[in-house]
Structure 1
């Protein structure tokens, strides 16, 4: 059944990816009408999240941010599809880096990097980064249910010398690279909600205590990785600029979870500057102001 879905859907995705950008964004506007105006995809969650973290904003401001978010959300969807056929030259023109020299310097010093980011701006085209650096690139991801689409996504990323690895694969793959003395750069989208009964750290995010993933920090300490944060700024429709900021080159010098908290402070600054570009459709604050012990008590 998965293959049947794949052979039906893939040609449609390919046709969309072949559209010139002017028509691609016209298609995005069409999606916006269906996803937000007609079906209201997760609109309740988006509204609740925005009201929760921005209690000072009026109903009119929340509505404006919501509309802007859904327009951006649809743009990201079509941009992800465009990855099927977009040329490297076109992607380099549309996804620029303001200070890639920071990573190039670490590379010249033979340092491996944990590259941390949030679901903000556009992370779909970050893989073009591999055309500016030589170190092998990895990105931690969640395997897709449909194995055929999963292989497709991996194939697209591999074009740019980036390789998707699951959470379970991360430690053994990076450990082997460390033992071989092969520098690498590994991307972590670290703002997802961790399972509350397994979270090692509960920290503050946008004013609320929530369970946090700490894998990037723990691996940085274990493998002596430099930790770098990257933020994405939307310049105009279809054009982005990424900047890098070193959190630390000496992760072991920090107390446990301090680096994770620093990452979330940087993420908060991004969100507050332009909230419409954060991924508000997820229930990121559903476990707010609890702890692992509270969760076990509720489940008992």
Structure 2
């Protein structure tokens, strides 16, 4: 069944990926109509998240953010498909890095962990590896369909990226550290960990939730540099990325310092342009479930 699903779906995805700009985004507009109006994909989750995070916004303001978010969501999904036929030169025009020299300078000294959020276009973040000299890794969620999973790995390898799962991350970082292998690791770090496994609880958008701090833990253990990736949507199909250093040597930071800096930078993005955040995820589902054994933090 997995092979059949791949064989039937791949031709459509390939066709979408080669559409010219105007037709490509016209297709996204059609997708928006079905996703938002017909199927109502996760609209209750989106509305709950928006009302929770922005209690002072009016119903009209929330509705506008919701509609703009779904337009952006459809664009983002199709831009992921577009990756199939994007060259290094093409993605550089669509995903512009304003200060690549920041990474180039830091990687002369040590390996780097790049922290980012599900904001703007996180799929094209892997193209960053076209600008660095060290070995590039991206932490990703393995796809259940083994054929699609292999395909995604192959596509992203074109941009000098090695995909590793969350389970492989700690082992990979520590082995490279012990073997003096200079590397750059990309991590999307705003996801919600399971409440009973969380090592840290803090406020995110003013709501106490469990916080994923694996990136900080690995960075402090191995003395990596930590950089925040701020991505902005300039216009449809075009993004701008900026590297914001958090720590040049994580071993010299205080506990939770890196994670808290990441949270504040992510919040600033969301507040500035909330429609570009991924509101379909149940990021705040564990609110008010902090175990009594945890001291107040963050």
Q: Does the alignment reach a TM-score above 0.5?
A: yes
CA distance in 2, matches of 1:122, 1:62: 22
CA distance in 1, matches of 2:65, 2:10: 32
SS in 1 for 2:230: strand
Contact 1:199 1:292 in 2 (8 A): no
Written as runs of structure 1 = structure 2, the 5 A alignment for 1:133-148 is 133-148=132-147
CA deviations over 1:94-126 (Å, ceiling 9, x no partner): 1001111100101223x1001000001111112
Q: Tell whether 2:85 aligns with 1:85.
A: yes
| Match of residue 231 from structure 1 | 230
CA distance in 2, matches of 1:194, 1:294: 17
Instruction: Report the CA distance shift for 1:149/1:294 in structure 2 as closer, same or farther (over 3 A).
Output: farther
CA drift of 1:129 comes to: 1.4
| Match of residue 291 from structure 2 | 292
Written as runs of structure 1 = structure 2, the 5 A alignment for 1:129-278 is 129-278=128-277
CA drift of 1:173 comes to: 1.6
Q: Tell whether 2:116 aligns with 1:125.
A: no
Contact 2:247 2:253 in 1 (8 A): no
Using structure 1 for the length normalisation, give the TM-score: 0.95
| Match of residue 42 from structure 1 | 42
SS in 2 for 1:138: strand
CA distance in 2, matches of 1:25, 1:144: 26
CA drift of 1:293 comes to: 4.5
CA drift of 1:133 comes to: 1.2
Contact 1:198 1:292 in 2 (8 A): no
CA drift of 1:140 comes to: 1.0
SS in 1 for 2:80: helix
Q: Tell whether 2:66 aligns with 1:66.
A: yes
| Match of residue 278 from structure 2 | 279
Using structure 2 for the length normalisation, give the TM-score: 0.96
CA drift of 1:257 comes to: 2.0
Contact 1:200 1:212 in 2 (8 A): yes
CA distance in 1, matches of 2:170, 2:192: 20
User: 161-170 vs 251-260, which deviates more?
Assistant: 251-260
CA distance in 2, matches of 1:197, 1:294: 11
CA drift of 1:252 comes to: 2.1
**After the TM superposition, which parts of structure 1 deviate over 3 Å for at least 4 consecutive aligned residues?**
292-295
CA distance in 1, matches of 2:293, 2:148: 38
CA distance in 2, matches of 1:169, 1:272: 33
Instruction: Report the CA distance shift for 1:98/1:289 in structure 2 as closer, same or farther (over 3 A).
Output: same
CA drift of 1:228 comes to: 0.3
Q: Which consecutive unaligned segments of at least 5 residues does structure 2 have?
A: none
Report how many aligned residue pairs link the two structures: 294
CA distance in 1, matches of 2:139, 2:44: 29
CA distance in 2, matches of 1:281, 1:46: 5
CA drift of 1:127 comes to: 1.8
CA drift of 1:250 comes to: 2.3
| Match of residue 101 from structure 1 | 101
CA distance in 1, matches of 2:13, 2:292: 45
| Match of residue 26 from structure 2 | 26
